[in-house]
Structure 1
Amino acid sequence: MLRCITLLAVFGCVGLANATSPYCAPQGDAPSLRLHPVGGPEGRGQRIVASDQHRGDLDARAFEWLGGTGYRMHAWSGPGDRSLLRGFAVLVNGQLRDRREAESDTLRLWGHEVRHADGSIEAVQLQAGHPALSICAEARDGRRVALLLMLGPEADGHAFSTNVPVQRLEADDALRRAVGAPAEIALVLVEPEVPTSTLAVHLAFGRTPPDANATMATLQGEADRGFGGDLWAAGIERRRAGLESLRLRTGDAAFDDAFRWAIASNATFRTDEFGPGLWAGLPWFRDNWGRDTFIALPGTHLVTGEFGRAQAVIENFTRWQNRADGPEKGRVPNRVAAATDTLYNTVDGTPWLIRAAWETAQASGDAAGLPGLRRLIRDYVAGAEPHLDDEGLLRHAEADTWMDARIRGGRGWSPRGDRAIEIQALWHAVLVIGADLATREGDSAEAERYAAMAARTRTAVLARFWRDGRLADRLLADGRVDTSVRPNAWMAVSVPPLPERFPFLPSDVEQAVTRDTAAALLLPRGPLSLAPDDPRFHPRHVDDAHHHKDAAYHNGTVWQWTAGPAITALARFHQQETAYRVTRELARQILEDDAPGHLAELADATLEDAGRVRPSGTYAQSWSTAEFVRNAVQDYLGVRPRLLDGVVELSPALPAAWTDIEAVLPLGDGEPLRFNVIQREGRQRWTFAARERPLRLSLGGMLGGHEPRAVTLRDGPLVIDLPIPEAPAPWPLAAEPMPPSGGWPVRQGRDVLERFIESGGLDRHPQPTRAQLLAPTDTERKDTP
């Protein structure tokens, strides 16, 4: 129960103190990352990123009281953010402990904790699933602790609770000077009424004070039911439980640590602000983005066993499907946000949703959502058909793909119109999924119609896109072919959901595309978005002296998420050692680079002078870590549930570094698939644990041969001992980009690419030469294709 008081206006209500004391930093609370006092974005402490998995996120700095934006969330109405908690500090026996002199600062699943040389601890955790956070202080040898809260200007009206009775005092000017807090930050000193060595403070927020009180009451109820009323311990356990469904140990310790952090990173992006969804990235993309959500959904929710959550996210987006006549009919939104209109400017968001919904049904075995999915497919196909060309290829605007950056909202920096290769692969995927679902429900007419449309699309792709041993990136409106080398080619290999029944490309074409694109684009740090020998290639993302950052966004800059399709394609052709060079470097980025525990949206196309990777874009990006997790389960382990068909397919491509594998993979029937693998001296020994419920395993991809061999796993273990498949010769990765003679063309002046596009040069020369790109505008206008 909560009782309102008016002792200090900044606090709304105070909860009755509970009797138990928290322990700020549980031993063995893995994973954890030791943070560094330098290396952050301002050259000081590393960035700390966490979220409440509801609507608020934390951006702080290691070893710093203040830094970043602190704990914030969108305003309850209108644009902008609410600044709620900017920082905190601990006092021991009345003396402030200097965060800058701390012994350690450690990133945890739930936030971070700081240890001082005298044994005192201060920590913050964001309460998962609630707009709330908790702060903990602890001292040794019976010394008394107090907490200094640094509250943002919009922190009024929240609910407040502690583990012991406290008094709240306005901090004096000496404390303000010591922590360097500006005047707009409210400093509140929280002291126990009776001296104690442990203190926990809990803050909950809401649109109104009653909403905040209700959140606090919910948290207290959860703690009362299983933790003796201890909100701190209950919150930590809730975070830990979220990592337990999917477990993987490989024998590669660095990868294993990064894998656990990638799962934790994925959980950061959970949001319920606009209904169940996923933020695309922090700090700028805290909205429900359609394309990003459904690319990230398999690695975030399916391989982790959150099938109900996945379905809720799908249904939340499906309710916004545009059914009005017009060019956007049948689409789900590109973005749903509080302060802007719902936007439908994406041609691929809906196909990614349809593919993710079909994968969700296969992973869960739950067919309840299939009738709704069929309706969504019908509406999408009906909206798309007016945009098909004479051969069955789907037309679209130049910036309606994931390469969607525009020059001041106008022309695309990387135009992909009007028929991009991955859009055709996604369109084909929609049709074959539609045919599959219609067949399951006995609707042969619809199944035949969709299958015929898919076959027509495939025929057109082979006829129009496959030219002289290269797969075109797009067709222009006038039929010209643009063979610019971009990572979209891998999606033509990785996107098809039923390649055995409905192939999109012939196998020999897939192999050539995968190999050649890797040789041109794939660096250990991730794939380039444009080949370095293209004159439009930008070596740096942010280079204000030469261009706007969006000029480089999809024109050279590395996008880590596109490593996902690349690794899927490479694993299909048993090039896991080539792929794993990328995975290991991404694992290093997760553990070491800004922000620790996460993957950034981007990295520069070229290395820094010291040979280091320079992350760029958002510091934590959902689909980057989601694809890292998905690759491990679906591609390296090769586990793909097809529970609608009553089978789990196994087609592993195990890296040599995975010597001792222990895996617990959640399945839709509630009983996980448990197995271990030992790789020694040229042999693999797979041991599958017995199950209470029988499960069919399709071993065709493991045992080789053309016919899949199935066994039923039931009340006894299954052991498969086989020689490690002979590895083909490894394919090379791309060479590090080096400036051509005369330097990078886009750095030969200011806004080189922008002037070329705005003059119409890219329309005339979709793959310009250096001379064409650098020609004076008037001269270029007189040129002919």
Structure 2
Amino acid sequence: MYYFGKENWRTLERGIEKEWLVTNGIGGYASSTIVNLNTRKYHGLLVAAHNPPGFRVLHLTKLDERFQAGSCTYNLAANDNRSGFAEYGFIHLQQVSVEPLPTFTYSFGDITLVKTIFMAYGRNTTVIHYQARNGAEPAVLTLVPLVNCRGHHYITTQGEINFTQQLKEGGVSIKGREEIPPLLLSSSSGGYIPGDSWYAGMAYAAERERGENPYEDHYIPGRFEIPFAPGESKTFTVVASTEDIDNLDGEELLAAERRHLQGLARQAGYDDHLARRLVRAADAFIVERRSTGKKTVIAGYPWFADWGRDAMIALPGLALVTKRFDDAREVLLTFAKHRRRGLLPNAFFDGAREPVYNAVDASLWFVHAVYKYLNYTKDLDFVREQLYPVVKDIVHWYMTGTDFNIGMDSDGLISAGSPDIQLTWMDAKVDQWVVTPRHGKAVEINALWYNSVCILNMLSSMVGESPAYPELPARIKDNFIKCFWNEENHYLNDVITPDGPEDGLRPNQLMAVSLPYTMLTQEMGRSVVQRVWQELYLTYGIRSLSPFDERYQGVYLGDRLRRDGAYHQGTAWSWLIGPFITAYRRVNNYSPESRVQARRFILPFRDQLRDHGVGYISEIFDADEPAMPRGCIAQAWGVAEVLRALVEDVLEIQPIEETSQYRKTDW
């Protein structure tokens, strides 16, 4: 449980630093700051996924509370406004806890109000659960809904949407855009009084910082009023949904959500407190994809959809370490079903008929995920029937050549891309500017390629066939060392371009040490890890470029041009801590001393879970100290890789590798 007190919101600026997030298992979410002042266009109490996990629409922005007791009115609302008028209702906040459901305790006069927010799993439904104890005076609690009806990437201005409403028992149905289901609001106590007005000019500080439009208008359809007698206590719920809510009971939904979260912890079975917290965090990212009827992985909240690369990197931590093996199978099948010419989708985008395929590494990470799945489940039958043919297909296309100039060169190495397109995970592009050009032979792609060929040979033997390409690994290995090993710097070049090697110190070389099959000697691996530790390690992640490089950008701030210019030019990434810790333990022979140090690498994340997105791992951090969290407040591969490294490399809880007899390493 994460507790926060008044020291966390002594100023407005401090109060908006931390954000809460709850999700519903189909791509929908609710989120705001811990003082319930919205700072993003993505903040809201109900962002519904109408075509899971996509077509996400903001329906209910806020529910502002005002408590009138006798002659005193206590305004609990917290809002910033274009006009400069701000509401500071958070001064009445006594405590906020996230366990992981966000709970807010307000204390004013002789009155206490406790509010808990959660979503019903599998439904586009948010429940706001209230427990209120009135003081000595008769009182009325007024709840004012701020409503919208737009895609969560956009902004609404007054008059843009013609809202209509229809009274229903206990509440109201509010219709916005014709093609979007109405918002249904109901309260289990009090009554609804219709109105018709707008809240003009809500200001979003985070959008202003990102160079986006920071102002928005929201519709106010009316209000709920809940009366209180002197000394009366009430427990009641407000339900916001785009589905039928006639038979929904808020108390039952709360109990069900708590059972769901407790069940995840029991299923994973870890006693370690940090592991249990990360297991709960992992649940936010495993969601339904309606188009396949199976599970997929949301890359990050609040703005990312499901991305192939992110899903495959995150799968071991999200679904295998947590023992959600059925979900792991579904995620693998979701992306396998959509492969094209050996390529897995890079991303599914709203409104697009087909996914996009501009990723050279997603398919290779899929092969690695198959390997990890087999280690954890020993489910060779499923692998043989469903996944082995996909692995063979991927390797075949990479050998013979596929889209985006992806293919094996005569030296056995994989080359991909062109000056105009970026296919690796360092994929920032602004208009025609490829910020980090890495076309040619990238180090992590060829580490993944070697790993994939070795895994295919291993699987061939396990299913009773001859190794598919028995001679190829040795050729890849020899030429990889010749091309990538930088004898002068004692680390690996980042990419071999048509103009020669790019030798900037980047973290991608970690994959050549951390993946199951390595081409490096132990001495080489140790040197790589040491250089990364010296120049790239940054408490909550690994920098994407050395601070000594002239291209280095230490702060990720500003408009899109400035942000994307820093995205892979120094900015530290949380997910890279996983490969780093795995590589560190490996090159140190899993010694007791290396385990102690690995724990030191992990423990700071206990504090990170209390910052930015409470209960989650942030996407990125400024490369300069003090490593401010940036980007998504909750990132799938960040949570997944911290959890995987904690369990496998620190707690040393690993599956028994029946596949180890097929492993071929130098040390």
2: CA distance, partners of 1:47 / 1:291: 26
Relative to 1, partners in 2 of residues 1:429 and 1:34: Cα closer, same or farther, differing over 3 Å? Answer: farther
**1:83 and 2:95 are equivalent in the alignment:** no
**1:58 and 2:58 are equivalent in the alignment:** no
2: CA distance, partners of 1:271 / 1:147: 35
Q: Deviations over 1:470-491 (max 9, x none)?
A: 3333443437222211111111
Matched residue SS, 1:197: strand
Matched residue SS, 1:277: strand
Q: Which amino acid in the other structure matches residue 527 of structure 1?
A: I
2: CA distance, partners of 1:525 / 1:441: 41
Q: Greater strand percent: which structure?
A: 2
Matched residue SS, 1:350: helix
Cα offset, 1:62, TM superposition: 2.1
**1:362 and 2:375 are equivalent in the alignment:** yes
Partner of residue 389, structure 2: 375
Q: Give the superposed CA RMSD.
A: 3.5
2: CA distance, partners of 1:40 / 1:395: 51
Q: Deviations over 1:701-731 (max 9, x none)?
A: xxxxx9xxxxxxxxxxxxxxxxxxxxxxxxx
Partner of residue 101, structure 2: 110
- What does residue range 236-385 of structure 1 map to in structure 2 within 5 Å? 236-249=258-271, 256=273, 258-274=274-290, 275-285=294-304, 287-322=305-340, 329-340=341-352, 341-370=354-383, 371-385=385-399
Q: Deviations over 1:48-85 (max 9, x none)?
A: 22222212112212223655421313565999752222
**1:184 and 2:219 are equivalent in the alignment:** yes
Partner of residue 157, structure 2: none
- What does residue range 39-58 of structure 1 map to in structure 2 within 5 Å? 44=16, 46-58=18-30
Q: Deviations over 1:728-757 (max 9, x none)?
A: xxxxxxxxxxxxxxxxxxxxxxxxxxxxxx
Q: Deviations over 1:186-206 (max 9, x none)?
A: 34305489987111233332x
Matched residue SS, 1:344: coil
2: CA distance, partners of 1:403 / 1:464: 21
Cα offset, 1:529, TM superposition: 0.8
1: CA distance, partners of 2:12 / 2:319: 30
Cα offset, 1:566, TM superposition: 0.6
Relative to 1, partners in 2 of residues 1:40 and 1:333: Cα closer, same or farther, differing over 3 Å? Answer: farther
Percentage of identical aligned residues = 23
Which structure 1 residue ranges, 5 or more long, are not aligned? 1-29, 206-211, 224-228, 251-255, 323-328, 650-705, 707-785
Partner of residue 751, structure 1: none
Partner of residue 199, structure 1: 236
Q: After alignment, is 339-348 or 571-580 more displaced? A: 571-580
**1:402 and 2:377 are equivalent in the alignment:** no
Partner of residue 208, structure 2: none
Relative to 1, partners in 2 of residues 1:231 and 1:580: Cα closer, same or farther, differing over 3 Å? Answer: closer
Partner of residue 416, structure 1: 438
Q: Deviations over 1:370-427 (max 9, x none)?
A: 122111112111211131111100111152111111241x352112221111111111
2: CA distance, partners of 1:31 / 1:240: 16
Cα offset, 1:520, TM superposition: 2.4
TM-score normalised by the chain length of structure 1? 0.67
Partner of residue 213, structure 2: none
Matched residue SS, 1:264: helix
Cα offset, 1:162, TM superposition: 6.5
TM-score normalised by the chain length of structure 2? 0.78
2: CA distance, partners of 1:605 / 1:164: 49
Relative to 1, partners in 2 of residues 1:391 and 1:183: Cα closer, same or farther, differing over 3 Å? Answer: closer
Partner of residue 558, structure 1: 572
Q: Deviations over 1:500-549 (max 9, x none)?
A: xxx4222222122112222221122321111112111112222569x622
1: CA distance, partners of 2:532 / 2:189: 64
Contact 1:38 1:44 in 2 (8 A): no
Q: Deviations over 1:195-247 (max 9, x none)?
A: 87111233332xxxxxx22x876x66xx9xxxxx7222222222232233235
- What does residue range 618-629 of structure 1 map to in structure 2 within 5 Å? 618-629=632-643
Contact 2:3 2:95 in 1 (8 A): no
Matched residue SS, 1:532: coil
Q: Which amino acid in the other structure matches residue 360 of structure 2?
A: V
**1:148 and 2:147 are equivalent in the alignment:** no
Q: Which amino acid in the other structure matches residue 148 of structure 2?
A: P
Q: After alignment, is 392-401 or 536-545 more displaced? A: 536-545
Q: Which amino acid in the other structure matches residue 113 of structure 1?
A: F
Matched residue SS, 2:473: helix
Alignment partner of 1:535 out of 539, 550, 566: 550
Contact 2:147 2:218 in 1 (8 A): no
Cα offset, 1:159, TM superposition: 7.5
Relative to 1, partners in 2 of residues 1:431 and 1:86: Cα closer, same or farther, differing over 3 Å? Answer: same
Cα offset, 1:570, TM superposition: 0.9
Contact 1:137 1:199 in 2 (8 A): yes
Contact 2:554 2:624 in 1 (8 A): yes
Matched residue SS, 1:138: strand
Matched residue SS, 1:451: coil
Q: After alignment, is 354-363 or 45-54 more displaced? A: 45-54
Matched residue SS, 1:114: strand
1: CA distance, partners of 2:498 / 2:660: 47
**1:588 and 2:607 are equivalent in the alignment:** yes
Matched residue SS, 2:393: helix
The structure having more radius of gyration, on CA atoms, is 1
Q: Deviations over 1:592-624 (max 9, x none)?
A: x212222221111112xxxx3322222221111
Partner of residue 532, structure 2: 517
How many residues align structurally? 575
Q: Which amino acid in the other structure matches residue 283 of structure 1?
A: P
Matched residue SS, 1:268: helix
Which structure 2 residue ranges, 5 or more long, are not aligned? 77-88, 150-173, 176-180, 204-215, 401-406
- What does residue range 351-750 of structure 1 map to in structure 2 within 5 Å? 351-370=364-383, 371-386=385-400, 387-397=407-417, 399-408=422-431, 410-444=432-466, 447=467, 449-468=468-487, 470-478=490-498, 480-496=500-516, 499=517, 503-542=518-557, 548-572=562-586, 573=588, 574=591, 575-591=594-610, 593-607=611-625, 612-642=626-656
Relative to 1, partners in 2 of residues 1:44 and 1:645: Cα closer, same or farther, differing over 3 Å? Answer: closer
Contact 1:112 1:125 in 2 (8 A): no
